[in-house]
Structure 1
Amino acid sequence: MAYEPTADELVFLNRCVELAAEALDSADEPFGSVLVSASGEVLFEDRNRTADGDQTRHPEFEIARWAAANMTPGEREAATVFTSGEHCPMCSAAHGWVGLGRIVYVMSSAWLTALRTELGVPPGPVTAIPIQEVVPGLRVDGPVAALEAAMRELHTRACA
């Protein structure tokens, strides 16, 4: 079932889509994420930076690193990560290890896996599994149907 974001959440999610487009324009995979404090302040944002071959340069992982270095445990727990795509297992683990709070994503890993299969792209080296299987008990909201078409277009271009 799709998640219906608030107007404020939609602003952050649209920024994630913009960051994903920036990533694609820079020859990276189209993913973008934004870390937002409990008071609604954007603290950190990033996009995929994997074009150089380092597949650990996901924005969600960078957010976890930044949060660990710059936020208290309480601030991390109260924060929300908005992201264009559901975290991969590596990023889910990083999120859980540093104690970040809620995640809101546009497209699920299952949806992306199905799209990649439809486009004839072989599966990646790591099995896509839901965030909650990596970090049980974490509040996760998504997918967001209103933005899936934009992400489908970006991933279709990326796979072409």
Structure 2
Amino acid sequence: MNDIDLKHLRRCVDLAKAALDAGDEPFGSILVSGEGEVLFEDHNHVAGGDLTQHPEFAIARWAANNMTADERAAATVYTSGEHCPMCSAAHGWVGLGCIVYASSTSQLTSWLGELGVTPSRVRALPIESVVEGIAVDGPVPELAEEVRQLHRSFHSR
């Protein structure tokens, strides 16, 4: 984890805050090329009822339509929270490279349990349980605590 990774993760947390401000679950993600260029960014859009509108899934779709296989493999996805199984699978199917996250699936599961949130019907799995041989890095304790507070704010509404 270096200063560039932390800068990109900070942007993801900012996008998660934007999602929260828009009344949505606080998740944000960006796609960065192998050359370091931010190519795509998004935040959650599940408040309308389509629970597949995760930013990581949108990144996978965008990458499949706009990048070569080699460009996808060299890219990095940064995200405020570790991918869910749906997003992990999409990431794997389109052949994106490394995933760097601020907070982990196990952290989120614990936080939601503490808040009394009913568990999802979809099993919470780490990325490596869904995609073989994927490079991942995270969590980052100081950013994870910020993400925790965003989830606390969302679920206390």
Q: TM-score, normalised by structure 1?
A: 0.96
* Mapped pair 1:53 → 2:49: yes
Pairing partner for 1:25 from 3, 21, 27: 21
> What are structure 2's unaligned runs of at least 5 residues?
none
Aligned-pair Cα RMSD in Å: 0.6
Identity of aligned residues (%): 62
Q: How many residues align?
A: 156
Task: Spell out, residue by residue over 1:75-109, the C-alpha distance to the aligned partner (whole angstroms, 9 max, x if none).
Answer: 00000000000000000000000000000001111
* Mapped pair 1:74 → 2:70: yes
Pairing partner for 2:95 from 92, 99, 105: 99
- Aligned equivalents of 1:96 and 1:43: distance in 2? 18
Runs of 4+ that moved beyond 4 A? none
* Mapped pair 1:146 → 2:147: no
- Aligned equivalents of 1:125 and 1:19: distance in 2? 26
* Mapped pair 1:10 → 2:17: no
Deviation at 1:145, TM superposition (A): 1.0
The one-letter code of the counterpart of 2:108 is: L
Hey, what does 2:133 align to over in structure 1? 137
Q: TM-score, normalised by structure 2?
A: 0.98
